[in-house]
Structure 1
Amino acid sequence: MTDQISLKPWTGDDMPVLERSNTPEMTTFLGGPETGEQLLKRQANFLRLWEDGEARMFTVNAASEEIPVGSVGYWKTKWADAEVYEAGWSVATAYQGRGFASMALAACLQHAATYGDREQVVAFPRIDNRASNSLCKSVGFCFRGEEDFEYPKGNPIRVNAWLYDLSSLRIGRADVSIVR
């Protein structure tokens, strides 16, 4: 039986979710762990961007677990001269391999289709990040090729560009499990 997940809007109490994902293993493809100061800044940005309507960040909550297993979200950006969303996700090591990332990303895309104002979502996993590239493919993103990228700022990397067309989700308007 598959565990059920729900997404909860990011709050001021969600710093532990960032801390659980801030390990060398979890940040291998993201430039390594952040300092405490950088995590505080990220937390403040998540809250500010939600308030400003620029991003929607969520905790990923599994019915079988007492604490959030990770995070997922989308934010406004520009790619290939188009106004799009970019998606990002993280599932803590202890909870990986149970399908939480794919369920959370699918729910996040449904949220963007239902409540967002853009037609497409992009994701940019590093070319050597097999798990994230496989996730993009399994959820239905279309591979658009390799690109030069910078993450974190000042650190050039090579990424795969993946694109998801939200129009297919807008047809059915499936339920999105967002707990307020």
Structure 2
Amino acid sequence: MPRFLVTYVHFIEAVTRRLGRFAMYLLYVMMAIMVWSMITKFAHIPALWTLEMAQFTLVAYYMLGAPWTMQSEVNVRMDLVYARFTHKGRALTDALTVFFLMTYLGIMLYGAFDSTVYSFEVGERNPTAWRPVLWPLKTIITFSFALMLLQATALLIRDIATLRGEKI
């Protein structure tokens, strides 16, 4: 494989790994928010922001962790037939099916980007009592879809290298 493709794969996977490791800790942030919510409810001074903030943190946790899940290959797969393939057979199957994934991610990225731009332009807020702005969350979602698309490209390059008998 050309050196720039190997460098691309290593760079994207390093970014994905670090971001995924960071996202792991967002679960603790969400737990702290929920504990604070319980404390304020017991004190009869419920905070309006806790439920939405926990939901936003969960979205960030899920979306920022998704590219690392793709890289680690711990995503759900139908192994009924796939598990019986050889290493190169799996690489060929992955190389063919990644185009469907990339198409889906491209469409989702387009929609997320459009929604994020709209959110910035109009100062979109959630229609609740707390009324938080939505552009930070939508920016995270857009960034995550972009990184998933880059990670899917890195997986395609790895699969092509496997088919060529090379190792990245």
TM-score by length of 1: 0.25
- Whose relative contact order is higher, 1 or 2, with alpha carbons under 8 Å and at least 6 apart? 2
Q: Normalized per residue, which structure has more strand?
A: 1
Structure label with greater radius of gyration: 2
Q: Normalized per residue, which structure has more helix?
A: 2
TM-score by length of 2: 0.27
